[in-house]
Structure 1
Amino acid sequence: MKDNIRNTTVITEFILVGFSLSNETSFCLFVIIAFVYIVTITSNVVIIVIVTLQRSLHKPMYFFIGGLSFLEIWYPTVTVPRLLGALFTHNKSISPVSCLAQYYFHFACGATENFLLAIMASDRYVAICKPLRYIVIMNARTCMQLLVASWTFSFIIIAIPCAQISSLVFCFNEIDHYYCDFAPLLSCSDITAVENIFFAIACFVILGCFLPIIVSYIFIIRTIMTFSTASGRSRAFSTCVSHLVVVFIFYSTLIFLFVRPNTKGFLHVNKIVSVFPSVVTPLLNPIIYTLRNQEVKVAARKTLQKLYCFTLESGGIYI
């Protein structure tokens, strides 16, 4: 191992292998992903605008939905533009610094989404199981502190494996992925400690957030079943359906990708499955929360009416 390190040359760039496709297929995939990315950014920005402008949505649940939409703008932005560039220009090289930065921000944003989904489950638990204390517990200050804490802790905890990876010596510059993931990196150094720490952090973040979500919904469902009317049960459960769908989509892929002690034998499968949490989920989240929530749809119509009237007034047309 020491001889390998001594004889290796300094890696000046990595090659993101990505997907092995023909030129025609690459262009088709470029168009599809570009369309999905544009729609993702636009829809999440629209939700943030609606939540900000409509006072009827100035509630903890919608505050966290707005926070999730803000995250879903940056989560795909870390990897998708680079993927689009590679598909369009066929230039798959990336500098070590850019690769490490992409790794850091991608997994930090992923960790943040875990914490946000757990916080949103806790919000629904307090709203349904402790309704008389909801306003006191989930006040504006607490909501902001939870949001800031989720971002801060995620970016701190992901810095640990990132710092260790930055000190490794690499023998090969090819990464069998479309972004700088940890598993495909081939190092001349002993990476056992790094792998163990990354696996431990992945289990802590993913299972540490997923299990409280499950427990929260066990209490939520048990409380809803005690409601005397069917309409009350339906109304209470409808506030949780959107979040449950998002949790199922996000964690079904995330647990498969990272909560395994050995991912080396699944690199090609991981590359395909990882498209869902980093590309598909950020698109589905705003759609799910909009289509399943009557209050958001009403607020969206009011916002569009306000913008329409403002446009007419700005143009000198009064109605």
Structure 2
Amino acid sequence: MTKPPLTLYLAAPRGFCAGVDRAIKIVEMALEKWGAPVYVRHEIVHNKYVVDGLRDKGAVFVEELDECPDDRPVIFSAHGVPKAVPAAAAKREMIYVDATCPLVSKVHIEAARHHENGLQMIMIGHEGHPETIGTMGQLPDGEVLLVETVEDVAAVQVRDPERLAFVTQTTLSVDDTIDIVEALKVRFPKIVGPHKEDICYATTNRQEAVKAMAPKCDAMLVVGAPNSSNSKRLVEVGSKAGCAYSQLVQRAPDIDWRSLEGIASVGITAGASAPEELITEVIDAFRDRYEVTVEMVETAVENVEFKVPRVLRVPA
């Protein structure tokens, strides 16, 4: 039986960003330096395949610091942690390594600087997301107010409308965030924003590639985890950019083939914490069923690299 033809549009950039790459490397280097087990507070990045792979090598994933013994190293995830967490680790004289993405750390530094200048912070982010918890936890309670929508901006109660600044979660939809920032500026004309937007280069680049790809596609699949904010935003961006069927899949077995019956073109991209192996797995699954032609849709070239912390670069 001949296979039906299918064009696969492959987004570039896609998958791992520099912050995720660095975080995974930190766990691997910690295991090499100190041996197993090495404890990791929270999933190092939001991807089950990556986490399971590191667990197999000897990483132990926990939710809170009190689940870690004093005598083993602990790593803080790429999403960042509240200030209280490293303070507690230092008090227990633990070896700890902070794998917070440098672009998230930049937001933490901005928030601290505004606080020192007497400004109350408004954070645009998703409630309960580890990055939001980490950023809000840089300052005392009440000093960072969270807004998720334009409607939240209308309702937020501030201490002094003349003394405000805002920061954003790094993995948001660029287009949605523009509307919220505009609403903040209309309600609080003196609010201070970041010198350069907080949404990270990788989030922006992946969303731009999806916008370029979506109009060509009958369907679009985003390879990523259901708890990955940037992956879920890619699905939304695909839908808004004109792709009628835009779905998140963790692995190839998750593909709903019945929904793809009769299509001629599929776009494939991946969230910033999804490894290339999973994208290859999805492409191979299409090759099993279709006569596939792959076309690249490239909108940016990334060459960013972040150094690992010094403690891992010096001998034990």
TM over 0.5: no
Which one has a bigger Cα radius of gyration? 1
Alignment TM class, shorter chain as reference: under 0.3
Point out the structure with the larger strand share. Answer: 2
TM-score between both structures, scaled by the size of structure 1:
0.28
TM-score between both structures, scaled by the size of structure 2:
0.28
Point out the structure with the larger helix share. Answer: 1
